Amino acid sequence: MRVVTVPCLKDNFAYLVVDEHTHRAAIVDPGEAQPVLDAVAREGVTLAAIWATHHHADHVGGNKDLLAALPDLEVIGHTHDRDHERIHGLTRAVADGDEVTLDGLRATIIHNPGHTLGAISWWLPAEAAVFTGDTLFAAGCGRMFEGDAPMMHAALQRLAALPPETQVYFGHEYTEANLKFAAHTEPGSDAIAQAIARASAQRARGEATSPSTIGIERATNPFLRAADAAEFGERRTAKNTFK
Ligand code: ZN
Ligand code: FE
């Protein structure tokens, strides 16, 4: 597997997930079409599927134009988003534990409701990679638009239980702001200080901070490190107004 990060819109990440033997690819969360089509051409791959993490426009807004260019694309998202008809062009709905294959790539669906009720992560165990959309960010997590604190806390704990070496490909470049809140939450943490140094060096070079790893997130992410759902909810609320 090869992953090509495709910046979209202001601070979104789509990811081109390539089977290196067949040169076919899926695109995770195409917020817009043109950067994806450019990446497909540049990489010399054949786009076969759209893998959606959730229904928000900055993650599936490119579906329509991609389908206009490539009408045979498979479009996969959660059953909840199928039932609410909120992912354009959906051809297949999946639920927790389902497997999706693209040639030699095998993804397991993790349903992680909270940011939205149909939010899923795409976990590729053999590749040690997970695509988390707006559920888990580097040092942060999405807002609870459709779920509550117990729901989202449980969802994040499931992601935290993946193998620590798992690469985390997240939906937005929010890392530096997230780390500021992390340092405020846990002053004196060496792991957070190291993460801040790494992120600021990456940003200074004009690079994305993606991917992180589950191990780094366990050590630095205040939302994974909350003791329980109540503390998680307090932190999520505090972050909304943190500057
Ligand atoms: Zn979202
Ligand atoms: Fe988003």
> Distance (Å, rounded) from C-alpha 203 to C-alpha 72?
37
Task: Report, as an integer, the average pLDDT of 14-31.
Answer: 98
Q: How far is the CA of 150 from the centre of ligand 2 (A)?
A: 21
In the reported structure, the alpha carbon of residue 56 is separated from the centroid of ligand 2 by a whole-number distance in angstroms of 6
**Residues belonging to the active site:** 54, 56, 58-59, 115, 134, 172
As a whole-number percent, the residues of the chain with pLDDT over 70 amount to: 100
Extract the tokens encoding 137.
């960010």
At 211, the pLDDT band (50, 70, 90 cuts) reads very high
Q: Return the SS3 of 50.
A: strand
Task: Identify the CATH number of the domain in which residue 75 sits.
Answer: 3.60.15.10
pLDDT computed for residue 113 by the predictor: 98
Is the bond preceding 211 in cis, omega lying within 30 degrees of 0? yes
The 10s digit of each residue's pLDDT in 122-149 is 999 999 999 999 999 999 999 999 999 9
Report pLDDT for 107: 98
Mean pLDDT of the chain: 98
Token match 């959906």: residue?
90
Angle between helices 190-204 and 175-185 (to 10 degrees): 160
Those residues whose C-beta lies under 8 Å from the C-beta of residue 106, and which sit 6 or more positions away, are 99, 100, 124, 125, 126
For residue 22, report the distance from its CA to the centre of ligand 2, in Å: 30
Count of structural domains, the chain: 1
Region 218-239: what's the mean pLDDT?
Answer: 98
Task: State the residue range of the domain holding 178.
Answer: 2-241
Token pair of 147, please?
A: 């779920």
CA of 16 to the centre of ligand 1 (A): 19
Q: Which ligand is closest to the CA of 53, given by its number?
A: 1
Closest ligand to residue 135's CA? 1
Looking at all shown ligands, the one closest to residue 173's CA atom is 2
Environment class of 143 (CB within 10 Å of its CB; exposed 0-12, middle 13-18, buried 19+): middle
Report how far residue 34's alpha carbon sits from residue 39's, in angstroms, rounded to the nearest whole number. Answer: 9
Amino acid at position 147, single letter:
G
Of the pLDDT bands very low, low, confident and very high (cuts 50, 70, 90), residue 243 is confident
Mean pLDDT on 201-222: 98
Ligand 1 center to 21 CA (angstroms): 32
**Inter-residue contact 50 to 204 (CB < 8 Å):** no
